[in-house]
């Protein structure tokens, strides 16, 4: 049956004891969420291509983690299907986290290219990283949760060509962008490739929510321009000048990594059990006022 929360109302946002897999977790949004989850009692596995960056991120996450929280990593490419399958095997094993309740897809790449100079090879790389990898992780981790997080129910045999009717629970959180539904005005800023991939994330999120129903909620977070490590050297170093870029927005500032942590905790908790197939925009009001 579809789940309806009936527990302690003071525990609706509680993610302690949960287990999260975070792709793109060695910096930026992914690491910020991993720190927030670990601080709130959720064990995490982070993944990225660079083992060196992952090891450094694990140390930072562990420094903020609640007692008893496990922090681990898997180095590899989320766009590699065999790596995704191996990661699922390790994370759900007794030597890993022993299961998975939450999947966060924070991986992604970007390159500004005006339409006349779009590099086809890099465009296809962006499609693979920003879309295909999300499809793969959601396919394997989403269906694992659907088949295994059954809370005492017996699993139902999957019939090829038919929907998976198991009703295991779980949460999938994809990273989109305000640029998934709003193009950049006054020339586009070289964002045709990025807008295209983030628009696809919007629909991939909705489609997976329909496919994995009823107890796996699939949502996205769509930030505005945010001061992540990727943006150091691109955005002005002075905070007041940076925030002036977004001075016309209701929030009157750009985003910071911590701005996505609250929405990510909400979307990982029982408080969001009736929220699915949608995107939360920690955007300072950009979508509503542009």
CA distance 211 to 177: 22
Question: Tokens 């490419």 belong to which residue?
Answer: 77
What integer pLDDT is reported at residue 170 of this predicted model? Answer: 98
Please give the helix or strand (H or E) that residue 21 lies within, else none. strand 19-23
Residue 8, in any domain of the structure: no
Is the predicted pLDDT of residue 21 greater than 80, yes or no?
yes
3-state secondary structure (DSSP) of residue 153: coil
Residue 240, in any domain of the structure: yes
Per-residue pLDDT averaged across 35-45, rounded? Answer: 98
What integer pLDDT is reported at residue 152 of this predicted model? Answer: 87
- Give the number of other Cβ atoms within 10 Å of residue 77's Cβ: 17
This prediction's pTM: 0.97
For every residue of 23-79, DSSP letters joined together read ET-SSHHHHHHHHHHHHTT-EEEEEES-HHHHHHHHHHHHHHPPTT--EEEEES-TT
Mean pLDDT rounded to a whole number for the chain: 96
3 versus 56: which is more confidently predicted?
56
What integer pLDDT is reported at residue 73 of this predicted model? Answer: 98
Question: Tokens 């628009």 belong to which residue?
Answer: 199
The CATH number given to whatever domain includes residue 258 is: 3.40.50.720
Is the predicted pLDDT of residue 58 greater than 90, yes or no?
yes
Three-state DSSP string of 235-273? ECCCHHHHHHCCCCCCCCCCEEHHHHHHHHHHHHCHHHC
Contact indicator for 258, 32 with CB cutoff of 8 Å: yes
Residue 25, in any domain of the structure: yes
Residue 248, in any domain of the structure: yes
Total tally of structural domains belonging to the chain: 1
What integer pLDDT is reported at residue 182 of this predicted model? Answer: 95
- Provide, rounded to the nearest whole percent, the portion of the chain with pLDDT above 70: 100
Please give the helix or strand (H or E) that residue 82 lies within, else none. helix 81-91
What integer pLDDT is reported at residue 234 of this predicted model? Answer: 80
What integer pLDDT is reported at residue 186 of this predicted model? Answer: 87
What integer pLDDT is reported at residue 230 of this predicted model? Answer: 76
> Which are the contacts of 160, defined by CB distance < 8 A and separation ≥ 6?
none
Contact indicator for 10, 37 with CB cutoff of 8 Å: no
Per-residue pLDDT of 94-128, as tens digits, reads 999 999 999 999 999 999 999 999 999 999 999 99
| Residue 235: closest CA among 250, 216, 254 | 254
Residue 1, in any domain of the structure: no
CA distance 68 to 247: 43
Per-residue pLDDT of 232-266, as tens digits, reads 888 899 999 999 999 999 999 999 999 999 999 99
Per-residue pLDDT of 268-280, as tens digits, reads 999 999 999 999 9
CA distance 267 to 36: 13
Domain range for 126: 16-149+164-289
Per-residue pLDDT of 125-181, as tens digits, reads 999 999 999 999 999 999 999 999 998 899 999 999 999 999 999 999 999 999 999
Residue 142, in any domain of the structure: yes
What integer pLDDT is reported at residue 231 of this predicted model? Answer: 81
3-state secondary structure (DSSP) of residue 119: coil
């Amino acid at each position: 049956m579809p789940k309806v929360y009936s527990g302690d109302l003071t525990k609706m946002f509680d993610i302690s004891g949960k287990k999260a897999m975070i792709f793109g977790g060695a910096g930026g949004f992914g690491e910020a969420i991993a720190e927030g989850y670990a601080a709130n009692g959720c064990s995490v596995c982070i993944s990225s291509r660079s083992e060196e960056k992952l090891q450094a991120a694990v140390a930072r996450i562990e420094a903020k983690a609640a007692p008893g929280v496990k922090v681990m990593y898997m180095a590899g490419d989320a766009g590699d299907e065999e790596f995704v399958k191996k990661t699922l095997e390790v994370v759900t094993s007794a030597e890993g986290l022993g299961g998975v309740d939450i999947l966060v897809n924070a991986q992604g790449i970007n390159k500004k290219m005006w339409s006349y100079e779009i590099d086809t090879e890099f465009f296809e790389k962006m499609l693979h990283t920003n879309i295909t990898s999300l499809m793969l992780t959601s396919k394997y981790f989403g269906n694992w949760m659907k088949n295994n997080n059954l809370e005492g129910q017996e699993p139902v045999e999957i019939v090829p060509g038919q929907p998976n009717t198991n009703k295991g629970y779980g949460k999938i959180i994809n990273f989109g962008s305000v640029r998934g539904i709003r193009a950049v005005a006054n020339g586009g800023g070289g964002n045709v490739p990025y807008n295209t991939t983030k628009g696809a994330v919007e629909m991939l999120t909705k489609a997976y929510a329909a496919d994995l129903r009823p107890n796996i909620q699939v949502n996205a977070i769509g930030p505005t321009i945010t001061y992540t490590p990727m943006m150091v050297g691109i955005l002005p170093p002075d905070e007041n000048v940076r925030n002036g870029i977004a001075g016309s927005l209701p929030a009157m500032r750009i985003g910071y990594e911590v701005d996505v942590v609250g929405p990510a905790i909400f979307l990982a908790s029982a408080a969001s059990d009736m929220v699915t197939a949608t995107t939360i925009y920690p955007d300072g009001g950009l979508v509503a006022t542009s």
